[in-house]
């Protein structure tokens, strides 16, 4: 059995215990939905790109040093990473915060969590793999 986060129609998120098989199927469906949504957004961005606006409407941005489309895609990717992190359990989220946001070493994380350094390193690698599944 596996605990998953499930968003109810009213917007509340609850933990639900499901079989491993169902959890994997739901995760795959989520990945596919998110992939389709990302593709749609990227297509929409391309069709409304600065080149298109410039060619079609003779419009130029005030600051050429900023690549607006790349910045929008970067922010979109950041949102997907946040969503992936939200699917992790509380302990994994804490490790993500310590390692990626606070810059703690595996040794420091191990001391904070009261685990061996090798366990912390292994958990970080597992978290990376889990996050990649959602991206």
Does position 116 have pLDDT exceeding 80, yes or no?
A: yes
Q: Is residue 95 part of a domain?
A: yes
Tell me the pTM. Answer: 0.48
Q: Is residue 37 part of a domain?
A: no
* The pLDDT of residue 49: 56
Binned at pLDDT 50, 70 and 90, residue 119 comes out as: very high
**DSSP at 22:** H
* The pLDDT of residue 66: 59
Q: Is residue 129 part of a domain?
A: yes
Q: Is residue 113 part of a domain?
A: yes
pLDDT by residue (tens digit) across 46-82?
655 555 555 555 555 555 555 656 666 666 677 787 8
Distances (CA, A) of 112 to 19, 46, 109, 123: 32, 45, 5, 14
Orientation angle between helical segments 117-134 and 106-113, nearest 10 degrees: 100
**pLDDT top residue among 93 and 52:** 93
* The pLDDT of residue 45: 62
Binned at pLDDT 50, 70 and 90, residue 35 comes out as: confident
Q: Is residue 131 part of a domain?
A: yes
Q: Is residue 130 part of a domain?
A: yes
Does position 106 have pLDDT exceeding 90, yes or no?
A: yes
Ramachandran assignment for 103, one of left (phi > 0), alpha (psi -120 to 50 degrees), beta (any other): left
**pLDDT top residue among 10 and 116:** 116
Range of the domain at 128: 88-135
* CATH number where 122 lies: 1.10.10
Domain count, the chain: 1
């Amino acid at each position: 059995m596996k605990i998953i986060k499930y968003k109810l129609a009213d917007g509340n998120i609850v933990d639900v215990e499901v079989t491993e098989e169902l959890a994997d199927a739901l995760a795959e469906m989520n990945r596919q939905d998110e992939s389709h949504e990302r593709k749609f957004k990227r297509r929409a961005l391309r069709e409304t790109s600065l080149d298109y606006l410039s060619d079609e409407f003779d419009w130029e941005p005030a600051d050429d040093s900023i690549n607006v489309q790349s910045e929008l895609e970067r922010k979109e990717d950041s949102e997907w990473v946040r969503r992936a992190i939200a699917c992790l359990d509380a302990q994994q989220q804490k490790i993500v915060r310590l390692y990626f946001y606070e810059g703690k070493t595996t040794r420091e994380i191990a001391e904070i969590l009261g685990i061996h350094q090798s366990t912390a390193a292994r958990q970080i690698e597992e978290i990376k793999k889990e996050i990649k599944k959602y991206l």
